[in-house]
A and B are shown apart, each in its own frame.
Chain A
Amino acid sequence: MATASAKKLRPKYLSLPALLFEIRLPLPGWISILHRISGALLVFPLTAWLLWLLDASLASEAGFEKIRTHYLQLPLVKVGLLVFIWAYCHHFCAGIRFLLLDLNKGIALRQARASSVAVLVVSLALTAVFGARLW
């Protein structure tokens, strides 16, 4: 009897509108999916872009000055850097949370929710601080 009920097809309810508007992810779930999104963004294209910046800024003094006085002043470049800063800070903070969870620290629901809030707040605050320096 147990196998018969296990084989029964269960309805799936994962349409796009359901995923977007009806199924509400708890906060730790948001931290997790944002960790994934920020990680993907960091692999591509952000690492390529930063390597290019590192390359050009180290190659010559002229290249360094051109980046500093011209390239980094472009609004689109600043927005891109802001995205990089947020992605790095979020991935960093959420990653430390996951490392602690792996070590069985803060796995009770209350602490897990509190640390999720902390990850969001700290990474956004760091983004704001570095973003303010950028502008």
Chain B
Amino acid sequence: MVNRIITGAHYGMRDWLAQRITAAIMAVYTLIVAAIVLMNTPLKYAGWQSLFAQGWMRVATLLFAVSLAWHAWVGVRDIIMDYIKQDGLRLMLQVLTLLLLGAYLGWTIQILWR
């Protein structure tokens, strides 16, 4: 009998692995975007706007945002599980984290496809 806790993790390596894969995706995105921006300084509105108007950039940024949400969910949940011992408070903070990350994702989509 596995004694599972409702606010525990999935007792497997899926989240551990996902956190590392999403980290790699975000690292590659960071290097590419940093290179583009640094090569185009000082940045003007036309260049900034046309960068995010391109299809590949929108999709890449969406992938980044999804990776960020997934990565941060695993990380924040680890922090909450380490420091918050009271079940009710822990569950509430985990739900708030999910809502926050979901809101970030929605906002990002709204900004990208305006």
Q: Please, which residue of chain B has its CB at the minimum distance from the CB of A103?
A: B20
- A40 x B49 contact (CB < 8 A): no
- A39 x B72 contact (CB < 8 A): yes
Q: Which of A40, A58, A68, A96 contacts B76 (CB 8 A)?
A: A40
B window 70-100: CB within 8 A of A: 72, 75-76, 79, 97, 100
CB distance from B14 to the nearest CB of A (A): 15
* Interface magnitude class on chain A: 20 to 34
Q: Which residues of B contact A57 (CB under 8 A)?
A: 45, 48
A window 44-96: CB within 8 A of B: 44, 47-48, 51, 54-55, 57-59, 61, 64-65, 68, 88, 92, 95-96
Total interface residues in chain B, CB < 8 Å: 24
- The answer, yes or no, to whether B4 is at the interface (CB within 8 Å) is no
- A55 x B107 contact (CB < 8 A): yes
Q: Please, which residue of chain A has its CB at the minimum distance from the CB of B46?
A: A61
Report B's interface with A, CB cutoff 8 A. 20, 23-24, 27, 30, 41, 43, 45, 48-49, 52, 68, 72, 75-76, 79, 97, 100-101, 104, 107-108, 111, 114
Top 4 closest pairs, chain A to chain B, by CB: A64-B45, A61-B45, A43-B72, A55-B111
Task: Return 26 A-B CB contacts under 8 Å, by A number.
Answer: A36-B75, A36-B79, A39-B75, A40-B76, A42-B72, A43-B75, A43-B97, A43-B101, A47-B72, A48-B104, A51-B104, A55-B107, A57-B45, A58-B48, A58-B52, A58-B114, A59-B114, A61-B49, A64-B48, A65-B45, A68-B43, A92-B30, A95-B23, A95-B27, A99-B24, A102-B20
